[in-house]
Amino acid sequence: MITQMLFRALDRKTAWVALLILIAAAAVPLANLYLPASNPLHVPDYAVPLFGKYLTYAMLALALDLVWGYCGILSLGHGAFFALGGYAMGMYLMREIGPRGVYANPILPDFMVFLNYKALPWYWNGFDNFWFAALMVVLVPAALAFAFGWFAFRSRVTGVYLSIITQALTYALLLAFFRNDMGFGGNNGLTDFKDILGANIQAGTTRAALFAASGIALALALLVCSMIVNSKLGKVMVAVRDAESRTRFLGYRVENVKLFAFVVSAVIAGIAGALYVPQVGIINPSEFEPANSIEIVIWTAVGGRGTLIGPIIGGILVNFGKSIFTGWLPDYWLFALGGLFVFVTLFLPKGIVGTVTGLWVSTRRRPVVAAAEVLQPEPEAAE
Amino acid sequence: MSEAREKLGTMLYLNGVSVSFDGFRALNNLSIIVHPAEMLAIIGPNGAGKTTMMDIITGKTRPDDGDVYFDGRTDLTKLDEAKIANLGIGRKFQKPTVFESQTVWDNLVLALKKPRGVFASLSYHASGADTARIEEILATVRMTARKHDLAADLSHGQKQWLEIGMLLAQDPKLLLVDEPVAGMTDSETVETAKLLKEIAKTRSIVVVEHDMSFVRDLGSRVTCLAEGSVLAEGTLEQVSANPMVIERYLGR
C-alpha cells in the first residue's frame, strides 16, 4: 500500500523537482568543499548557510500551502510552528555548549546564570539528547496544531475569523517568549551555539552537512505532501476548500480532514525551523512576529498556491530577492514586499507556477477543445 | 395508532416539526411521511419551507420542535451532517453544487460510497469494482465523454446531472432532490423524470420542484406546502384541484 502511494505521489513533475532538490543538496556542499575558490562553480562559504536558510523557508512555504492552497485554511500564524521547532533545536544546541559558556556553568546556559536561575527548569530536561530534541521538534508543533485545530475546526471557525485567531496565536506566543521568566532566554533568545552532534557548528563541513540535510528534508516533505494531495484525501481537501458544507453532506468529517492537514503542516514547519536555527545561529521571539507569518503567505502566493512546486519556488525566489534588496535599499524592503503581493494578487492570482502551467495547458489543449466543442472559460480560482 | 407504530416501516417520518428564524416561522407543525421505495413530490410557493425542511432532515438546521426519524428508528435531530449522510441520506442542492475545480470523474470518486475517514481516504485505491461502478454511473447520467473535464466547465444542466450522478454514487436509501430540472431543456427534463422513476423502484425519493409538467411525469404522490405546513396531499390531480392550492400557489 505504501509503495502504491509512493508511486502515485511521484507524478513526473514532482519527481523531477524532488530529484533536482536532491542534486542541489549534494552539489552545493561539494562545490563549496572541494572546488578551489578560483573555479567559477565554487560556492563561497557565506552562501552555503544562506541558501540552506532559503531551503528551510521553501519547506515552510510548502507546509503553509498544504493547508492554505489545498485545504483553504489561511493560517496567518504558521511562523509559530516554525519557531517552536527552532526553539526545540535551539534548546539542544544550548545544552551542547556545556561548560564552554561565558559563565562556565556545566548545566545552566549563560542566560539562566545571568538571570539567577538556580536549577534547570523541568522542561529543559532531556534536551541534552539530540534524539529527544528531534522528537520535540516534531511533537511540540504537532501538539499545538492539534489542540488549536481541535477546537477551531470543531467550532467551525473558518475564513477570516480563523486567520485572525492564528495571528493571535503567534502573537500570544511572541509575548510569552519575550518574558524572561518563561525560561527561553527572553528577548535575546538562544544563541552562541558551539556545536551540533559533536561537530563545530561554524565548520565548513558542518554547514555543508546542514545544507544537505535541509535539501533532503525539503525533498522528503515534497514527497509526503505529494502523497497526500494525490490521494483521495487530497481530493477531499480540495473539496473542503471549494465547498465545505457540500463535503459535509457527502458524509466527510470536515473538521478531521482539516485537523490532519493542519497537524502534518505544523510538523513540516517545525522541522524546517529546526534546520533553520543551526544555520542562522540564533532563535529569538521575533520569529513569532505576525509579520513573519504574513511573509510566508506572500512567498506561497508568489510561487503559486495549490501547487506543490510553487511555494518552493516562491520561498526561495522571494527570500533571494529579499537578501539582494535589503543589501541595496534596506529601508524599503517592506514596501517592495507589499508591492509584490499586490502585483501578484492583481496580475498573477495563481502565482508563478499556476500561471505558467495555465499557459502551458491552454496552448496544448485549445486546438483540440476548439475542434471538439465550444470553448469553455477557464475555471475561476477558488477563494 | 401509537406514534411508535406509525413510525415503523417508514423511511422518513416528520411529525409536528416547527422552526423559526428571528421570529419568522419557516416550518409550522409540518408532518410528512415517506415510505420505502416511494417517491414524494413537494410543490409550493417560494418561502413555503421546502428547503428548510431539507436542511432539517440533513442536519444543517435543528428544529425547535417536532420529531424527525429516518428508517423508522434513527432520530435525525441529534446527528450532524456527516453522520446523517453516512446513514444513507443523499441530497442534491437547489443550486447545483459540484466540486468545480475537480474533474467529473473525481467528483464521483468523492461521492462513491466508501469509508469516509481521513486515513481510509489517504490509503484509498480504486478497485476494479469502483471503477466499473463509476463508469456505469457516467453512462447513466450520460457524461462518459466528459469524465476528464473539470466540473466548472459543465453547463448548468450538466452540473445537475453530475450531482444526480453523485447521489447515485453515494448509494443512499433516501434521496432529497431540490429542483433537479432547473436549467434543463425539455428533453433533459423528460430524461430526468425517467431516471428518478427508475431510482424510486428501489429507494425513497423526495423531489422539490416547481415545474408542473415534470411533476406530472413523475406520477408520484404530491404534497403542497405553504407557510411551513402541509396545504394538500394526494395525486397531482387532487392537489391541483384543491381550491386552497389554486388560491395560494397555482393561481386562478
Q: How far apart are CA B111 and CA B43, in angstroms?
A: 28
Q: What per-residue confidence (pLDDT) applies to A167? A: 97
Query: pLDDT over 90 for what percent of chain A?
Result: 83
Q: How far apart are CA B158 and CA B174, in angstroms?
A: 22
Residues A158, A244 contacting (CB under 8 angstroms)? yes
Parse chain A into domains and list their residue ranges.
Answer: 2-288
Q: Would you give per-residue pLDDT tens digits along chain B (252 residues)? A: 456 667 888 999 999 999 999 888 999 999 999 999 999 999 988 888 999 999 999 999 999 999 999 998 899 999 999 999 999 999 998 888 999 999 999 999 999 999 999 999 999 999 999 999 999 999 999 999 999 999 999 998 899 999 999 999 999 999 999 999 988 889 889 999 999 999 999 999 999 998 899 999 999 999 999 999 999 999 999 998 999 898 888 775
The C-alpha cell that represents A113 in the structure block: 546564570
Strands B221-226 and B229-234: antiparallel
pLDDT of A348 over the 70 cut: yes
pLDDT digits (tens, 9 = 90+) for B104-158: 999 999 999 999 999 999 999 999 999 999 999 999 999 999 999 999 999 988 9
Contact (Cβ atoms closer than 8 angstroms) between residue B27 and residue B19: yes
Question: Strand, helix or coil at A10?
Answer: coil
Give me the interface pTM, i.e. the ipTM: 0.92
Contact A260 B118 (CB under 8 A): yes
What's the pLDDT at A158? 93
| Size (chain B), residues | 252
pLDDT class for A300, splitting at 50, 70, 90?
Answer: very high
Q: What percent of chain A lies above the pLDDT cut of 70?
A: 93
Cα distance between residue B227 and residue A91, in whole Å: 66
Q: Which residue of B has its CA nearest to A365?
A: B149
Per the CB < 8 Å rule, is B110 touching A250?
yes
Antiparallel, parallel or unpaired: β B12-21 and A282-283: unpaired
pLDDT of residue A2: 66
**For chain B, percent of residues with pLDDT exceeding 70:** 98
Sheet holding B74-75, edge to edge: B24-34, B12-21, B65-70, B74-75
- A215-230: per-residue pLDDT in tens? 999 999 999 999 999 9
Only one residue has cell 527572553, namely A186
Q: Confirm or reject contact between B130 and chain A (CB < 8 A).
A: no
Instruction: Give me the torsion for CA of A124, A130, A132, A137, rounded to 10°.
Output: 90
Query: Any idea what the Cα angle at residue B142 is, between residues B141 and B148, rounded to 5°?
Result: 100
Q: Residue for cell digits 552532534? A: A197
How sure is the predictor about A213, in pLDDT bands with cuts at 50, 70 and 90?
Answer: very high
State the pLDDT at residue A20.
96
User: Cα(A246)–Cα(B152) distance, rounded to whole angstroms?
Assistant: 15
Q: C-alpha grid cell for residue B73?
A: 428508528
> Which residue range is the domain that position B54 belongs to?
3-250
Please check whether residue B115 touches A, CB under 8 A: no
Any idea what DSSP says for residue B150? B
- pLDDT for position B95: 86
At A12, the pLDDT band (50, 70, 90 cuts) reads: confident
Give me the CATH number covering residue B93: 3.40.50.300
Residue of A nearest to B105 (CA): A235
Over the stretch A40-91, which tens digit does the pLDDT of each residue have?
899 999 999 999 999 999 999 999 999 999 999 999 999 999 999 999 999 9
| A187 has a pLDDT exceeding 70 | yes
- As for how many domains chain B has, the answer is 1
Which residues lie across from A190 on neighbouring strands? A283
Residue identified by cell 508511486 is A7
Helix (H, G, I), strand (E, B) or coil at B173: coil
What average pLDDT does the segment A97-114 reach? 92
Q: How many CB pairs under 8 A join A and B?
A: 90
What CA–CA distances, in Å, run from A259 to A23, A167, B59, B133? Answer: 34, 18, 22, 31
* Mean predicted confidence (pLDDT) in A87-107: 94
Shortest Cα–Cα distance, B244 to chain A (Å): 35
Three-state secondary structure readout of B27-70: EEEEEEEECCCCEEEEECCCCCCHHHHHHHHCCCCCCCEEEEEE
Collect all residues from A whose CB is shorter than 8 A from any CB in B.
1, 4-5, 228, 231-233, 235-236, 238-239, 242-243, 245-254, 256-257, 260, 376-377, 379-380, 382
pLDDT of residue A245: 92
Strands (DSSP E) contained in B157-244 are 174-178, 204-208, 221-226, 229-234
How many Cβ atoms are within 10 Å of B114's Cβ, its own excluded?
18
Is A6 a residue whose pLDDT tops 90?
A: no
